[in-house]
Structure 1
Amino acid sequence: MTFAQSGGLERHISLCQFCADLHSELHWQCLHQPEEGSLSGDPWAEDDVGGAALVGFLNFIRPHMVQIAGACELAYLEAHPESTAQFLPAKLRLLIVCEGQSLADRLYADLKSRHIAVMATSMGAKMVLAQVQHYLHHALAPRQQIHGVLVDVLGVGLLLQGEAGIGKSELALELVSRGHRLVADDSVLCIREAPNVLTGHCPAPLRNFLEVRGLGIINIREFFGAAAIVRSKRIRLVVEIKDMRDMEMADIDRLQGKVDHMDILGTQLTRLRLPVSAARNLAVLVEAAARSQYVKESGGDMLADFEAQVRRSAGEA
C-alpha cells in the first residue's frame, strides 16, 4: 500500500489501492475509475474517529469524501433532482452505490465528467458503511517510526529506549526467555488508533528477528516458538535505560523513581527512567514496572498505600 505523509498527521491513500483492498469484503465492481485520485485529510480534526470520518451517507451540511448511496438516497435524488448539485460536492472522490441499485444515465455522466470514482455492490448500505469506516480508520491513522524495542510484558506493552549499545535487545532477549513476547526490535511503527491509544507494530522486514551484539541476528520464532511473537501491542509505558554514571542519582525520587512523560503523535505516555549497572537485574525491574503500571491503570496507588501505612504505624506508636 502506498501512502504519503506530510505535516505529521495528514495521510493519503490511492483510490485504486482502496478499491482493491476492499474487493474481497464488499464484492463490488468498478463502474468508473479515474486514472488518478486519492483520499486524504487530517482524520483527527475536530476529534473525528480517524479516517472513518471521511465516509458517510448523503450529508448537505458536512459532505463526505466517500459517499454511500442506497435505495433511500437514490430515491430522494429522483424525487428532488434540484439536490443533485449538493449530492456531488467538490470534495467528493468516490461514490459507492449499494443494494444493487443503478444510477440514472444523467447522474452517471455527471460523475464521470467530475472524475469521481463509482463502485457498485449488492450489499446493504449500512454494512458497506461499517466496512469502509473500519478500513479507513486504520489506513489513515497517523503513524510514526521511532527507535526502540517493543515487548509485551505481562500483557503491558513496554517501549524500551536508550542509547545504542546500552543493552535494549539483550534485555528483550532475556524477557522473551522468561516467557514474555517480542513485538519489534530496533524500529517500532507507532499508530494512533484512537485518542490516547497508541499501538506499536513491527515493520514487515524486521518481523520475528532480534539483533544481539556478539550473537548477530536471532530468529525469535525459531528459537522460542510462535507464542514468543506478537504482531502489535498497545504502548502503555516507556522505559528508558540510562547509564547509572550519566544519571544524577540524587535527583531520583526513591519513593517513586524518575518518572516523566513522552509525547508520541500527540499521545502522552508515562516514561520511567531506569539506571543500569552491572549489579542490577533489569529484566526483574522491567517486570516490576509492568506490574506497577497495571496496578496504576486498575486504580491502585502504591505510594498512597505506603504513606497511609506509615501514618497508621505512627499513630499506633
Structure 2
Amino acid sequence: MPKTIRTKQLLEEFPLVLQNPNADVEREITVGDINRPGLALAGFLVYHPAERIQLLGRTELAFFNSMQETDQRSRAEALCQFEQTPCLVVSREQTVPDILIEIASMYKLPILRGRVSTTKLAGQLQRYLDLQLAPETMMHGVLVDIYGIGILITGSSSIGKSETALELVKRGHRLVADDAVEIRKTEEDIVVGEAPELLRNLLEIRGLGIINVMTLFGAGAIRTRKQIELVIRLEMWQEGTEIDRLGLDEQTTKILDTDIPCITLPVMPGRNLAVLVEVAAMNHRLKRIGYNAAKDLSEKLLHMIEEQENH
C-alpha cells in the first residue's frame, strides 16, 4: 500500500503558518514532487499535477496580482478546486491575496506561508517528502558503517551478527542498527537503512543483554542512517557446502527492487568474522574504483596459458 502523510504534518515539521484556519489539514500527500503552478495561474490546466503540493513564489504571486479581479477569481477557482491538492505553500512571507484566501477557504484548501526563499523551501519540502514517502521495508539483521561502506549483515538467529557488530565497533567502526533495520528506497538504486526509534543505539548480546553503544563507546560509535552498499550473509558451514573460493561469481540480492552486491560468509569455529567483514568492505571499495583481485588473477592466468600455448 502506498505511503501517505497529511498536510498537518508539514505544519508540525516546518515553520509554516496556516493562513485559513477553517481549511482541511487532514488532506493526504501521496507524491513527493512539488509543483509551481505558473501555467495553472495562466489558465492552462492540461496535465496539471493537482496531486502535488503547489508552491507559490514571488513570480507566481506577482503574476496573480497583475490580473484583473475577475481573472484572479476564475484562476484561483481553477487552482483550488481539486480535492486531491494537499495544500498551497507561499514562500518569503509574502502577503497572500484576499481573493486567493477566500477561494481556497471555500474549497477548504490549506494555504501555508513560510519565511525562507522559494528555492530553499522547495528543497526542504522535497527532502522531507522523499524520506517520508519512500518505499520501505523491515529486515532482520545488523547494519554497520565500515570505512564509509554501509554493510547489512544477515543470517539466522544466534549465528553471531550482533557479536560481530560489537567487535567492529571496538575496532572503530559505527553501528547503525541491530536486530531490526528499517530500509527506505530514497532514490533510484539507493536504499538507506536506520534503526527503529525504540532500538536506536542498542545492541543485544546473548549473555550480556542489552547494551547502549553510544553510552559505552561514545557518539562516534553510532550513526543514525546509512546507505546499504553491501549485504553479507552469514551461514553455518557444513561439510560438503560449496563455497566460491575465488570470488569471481558476483552475487546480488534484491532489497526494494534494488540489486545490492551480496557475499556469503561461512561461519565456523576460529574464523574472525569482524576482520572478514572489515576486509570485505575494503575489497568492495577497491571494486567500486575498478580493481577486482579475482578478475585480475584470472586474467593473468589466461595470459600465462596463452603464452605457453604460443610457445
Per the normalisation by structure 1, the TM-score is 0.84
The corresponding residue for 1:213 is 206
* Structure with the larger strand share: 1
Contact 1:258 1:273 in 2 (8 A): no
Query: Aligned pair in 2 of structure 1 residues 95, 248: CA closer, same or farther (>3 Å)?
Result: farther
The corresponding residue for 1:302 is 293
1:38 aligned residue (12, 23, 27): 27
Task: Say if 2:241 is the partner of 1:249.
Answer: yes
Query: Aligned pair in 2 of structure 1 residues 314, 303: CA closer, same or farther (>3 Å)?
Result: same
User: What are structure 2's unaligned runs of at least 5 residues?
Assistant: 40-44
The corresponding residue for 2:64 is 77
Alignment RMSD: 2.3
Contact 1:190 1:201 in 2 (8 A): yes
- Alignment partners' CA distance in 2, 1:179 and 1:125: 42
The corresponding residue for 1:63 is 49
- Alignment partners' CA distance in 2, 1:100 and 1:173: 50
User: What are structure 1's unaligned runs of at least 5 residues?
Assistant: 1-6, 44-50
The corresponding residue for 2:42 is none
Aligned residues: 294
Deviation at 1:185, TM superposition (A): 0.6
Contact 2:20 2:101 in 1 (8 A): no
Deviation at 1:111, TM superposition (A): 0.6
- Alignment partners' CA distance in 2, 1:220 and 1:181: 9
SS of 1:17's equivalent?
Answer: helix
Contact 1:187 1:203 in 2 (8 A): yes
Query: Aligned pair in 2 of structure 1 residues 104, 314: CA closer, same or farther (>3 Å)?
Result: closer
Contact 2:54 2:87 in 1 (8 A): yes
1:16 aligned residue (8, 26, 39): 8
- Structure with higher Rg: it is 2
Identity, % of aligned pairs?
33
- Alignment partners' CA distance in 2, 1:124 and 1:239: 44
Query: Aligned pair in 2 of structure 1 residues 221, 107: CA closer, same or farther (>3 Å)?
Result: closer
- Alignment partners' CA distance in 2, 1:228 and 1:166: 23
Deviation at 1:236, TM superposition (A): 0.5
The corresponding residue for 1:46 is none
Decide which moves more: 69-78 or 235-244.
69-78
- Alignment partners' CA distance in 2, 1:220 and 1:137: 29
- Alignment partners' CA distance in 2, 1:257 and 1:282: 21
